[in-house]
Amino acid sequence: MKIVLAYSGGLDTSVLLAWLKEIYDAEVIAFCANIGQEEELQGLHAKARRTGASKVYIDDLQEEFARDFIFPMMRAGAIYEGQYFLGTSIARPLIAKRMVEIARKEKAQALAHGATGKGNDQVRFELTAAALEPDVEVIAPWRDERFRQQFPGRSEMIRYCEEKGIPVQASAKKPYSMDRNLLHISYEAGMLEDPWFDAFAPGNKKMFTLSVAPEDAPNRAEYVTLEFRKGNCVAVNGRKLSPLGVMKVLNKLGGKHGVGRVDMVENRFVGMKSRGVYETPGGSILHFAHRQMESLTMDREVMHLRDSLVPRYSELVYYGFWFSPERLALQALVEESQKNVSGTVRVKLYKGGIYAAGRKSRLSLYHPDIATMEADPTQAYNQDDATGFIRLNALRLKVGAKVGNRR
């Protein structure tokens, strides 16, 4: 039997690698995706081999992540429950997709992951596998009673590694868990499980990685221009960039000004509420600027229709249905809506805030001559027409009111 394991080199996945090999008498292929987590990948190949992996894949997926996952989601204006930019949610389908590709190449029968049985990630991994390779088996050790009994805590894992000669460096456990990629970094569990705990208090500044506290940001605002073409940001401050380049530049700018911090209680797909703290500096700027570009170039009814679907689209991403037919159908509508979303947006960054400072486009639907409160030289809008417009729209209200008075 061959198993492809999502591997990071940390304590949990090192234990998983050895445990899977032992329990399933299997050949384990370790896979690590570089999606911008900025973790030290040097030495990971050798470490996985020493732990027992028959093969090791360490793939740089950052460009694909930005181009094929983050950018389509941004074109859709996705945001879960009004606050979460879906940083972890959108990364899991890419990781699982690559695992499926490796499984096909290596003729592996199963995939394995270290997601817990209480979280969303297990669902995201396995729904992707089901959509792309329906016959592949998925092994989730944290849902296996044998694994949970053998490893009820961190100390048992460390002892197991010592007994097996597994090269892991046991560090002090942080009072929260973290997940980082190109779009964001999340913090949850531990001390953050108390929803009254103030994550942004001065004493917790060391927790944050991507951004400074807004009060510590520069006292001088910074202006940034973003150029869009068909809904995609293609340049920042006049410099043409790939999707990956855009994310890296915006992350740096946003982090410098304390942009993109969120603390929320969200609804997990598995049924419970959970508290998460997020840093999404670049994604926050991109989402805001994209909306400004749409405000100038998108037809009203198209915008309202698309906006009505944003909660559904965001749910599909959050729940793990990235490769579902309904998400693909919604994406087709999104792409149609983005045909004219081209032009330039200027934003001001200041102490955690993002402010519109200008927008322009040759495809603009905004015409000053029509919108002006002064005399319209084009006579494109006749104010007398509003009388009939109002009367027709008021008709049903009048009829309803008269019927109501008869009760």
The alpha-carbon radius of gyration of the chain (Å, integer) is 25
> Of 8, 12, 180, 342, which is the active-site residue?
12
Main-chain dihedrals φ then ψ at residue 32, nearest 5 degrees: -125, 130
> Is residue 63 within 8 Å of residue 242, measured between CB atoms?
yes
Say whether 198 is catalytic. no
Q: Which residue in the list 92, 98, 180, 275 is annotated as catalytic? A: 92
Q: Which of 8, 14, 89, 121 is catalytic?
A: 121
Residue 12 bears catalytic tag: yes
- State how beta strands 261-267 and 273-279 pair: antiparallel
Mark whether 211 is an active-site residue: no
Two tokens, residue 405: 């008075």
Q: Which long-range contacts (CB under 8 A, 24 or more apart) does 47-51 make?
A: 47/9, 47/14, 47/167, 48/7, 48/9, 48/17, 50/166, 50/167, 51/14, 51/17, 51/18, 51/166, 51/167
**In degrees, to the nearest 5, what angle opens at C-alpha 329 toward C-alphas 323 and 330?**
95
What is the length of the chain? 407
| Helix spans in 233-373 (H) | 243-256, 281-297, 300-319, 325-337, 368-371
Instruction: Render the burial of 214-223: b for 16+ CB within 10 Å, e for the rest.
Output: eeebeeeeee
Of the residues 60, 146, 154, 177, only one is catalytic, namely: 177
Active site residues: 12, 92, 121, 177
